[in-house]
Copies of this chain bind each other. A is one copy, B any other.
Amino acid sequence: MELHSVKVCFTPALYPYEDKHDIHSTVVIDVFRATTSMIAAIENGAEKIIPTISLQDARSLKNRDYLLAGEQDGQKLDFADFGNSPLDFSPGRVNGKTIVFFTTNGTKAIEMAKHNKTLLLAAFTNIEAISGYLSTQGGNVLLFCAGWKNNFSLEDTLCAGAIIEKLVEYETHRINNDAAIATYNLWLGVKSSLKSVLFESEHAKRLMKLGFSNDIDHCLQLNSSGIIPAYNDGGFIKINNVDSVL
């Protein structure tokens, strides 16, 4: 059986240079904190997550009785219901709700990839779930790291490496670009000291300075969720609710 391929794109600035014609599933990763927060919100009962890159859309959607999660440069927008902290999306606040998300990096990557065939979200919290799904579904995979303002982010890349490790273990996918070779080998080299390496990352330092150390701990809880958010009709919902359309 021929193996499917898995590739990695490090930042939105590199996305235009990717050959996307044979990609089946695109997986956006923004560990600190957009995709971790979206997974947490759906885990806790949110019905749908509507991502937007427009502040104006964020305002007007909020006025349509949606909740708004809004973050810019790590800080909560003053008119938003939530910032971008995964700990804030508690069942009591999000169960049954639709939440609009506006963030610095994650929603930008989502916007670029939203017309792709299948668009999913990953973070350290759902690695096993997403890897199992990708392996079972088959098809070529692009792991799209959200980065920080078009720059490379260590945490997103290491999360991509953890997914690649699983896909290689499952023997359904092979690594086929330089970025994926680097990502996989980097992950193998540092996974045993993941927390100490990631606490040295630029974004972790930024979050600690802003007082979000607890968020980092949550973001690094591997496999704490079985949720796989999938894009369908303008927003992300639980994958078992959209199997028919993927």
Contacts and interface: CB of A to CB of B under 8 A. Distances in A.
Interface in A182-216: 182, 185-186, 188-190, 197, 200-203
A75 interface: no
Interface in A78-113: none
Contacts of A14: 11, 13-14, 150-152
Contact of A13 (B17, B157, B182): B17
A92 to B, nearest CB: 36
A179 interface: yes
Contact of A151 (B17, B149, B201, B202): B17
A186 B178 contact: no
A154 interface: yes
A115 B138 CA distance: 48
A152 B13 contact: no
Nearest to A201: B178
A221 to B, nearest CB: 21
A177 B150 contact: no
Given A178-B202, A181-B197, A201-B178, A150 B17 contact: yes
Contacts of A231: none
Given A149-B17, A151-B17, A185 B186 contact: yes
Contacts of A182: 152, 154, 157, 182, 186
Interface string A119-130: 000000000000
A179 B152 contact: yes
A100 B95 CA distance: 66
A241 to B, nearest CB: 35
Contacts of A185: 186, 189-190, 197
Pairs of residues from A and B, 10 with the lowest C-beta to C-beta distance, nearest first: A189-B189, A154-B178, A152-B179, A186-B186, A17-B150, A178-B202, A185-B190, A17-B151, A185-B189, A178-B201
18 contacts: A13-B13, A14-B14, A14-B150, A148-B178, A151-B178, A151-B179, A152-B182, A157-B182, A177-B202, A178-B201, A181-B200, A182-B182, A185-B186, A185-B189, A185-B190, A185-B197, A189-B189, A189-B190
Given A153-B178, A185-B197, 10 more contacts: A13-B13, A13-B17, A17-B151, A152-B177, A152-B179, A157-B182, A177-B202, A178-B202, A185-B186, A189-B190
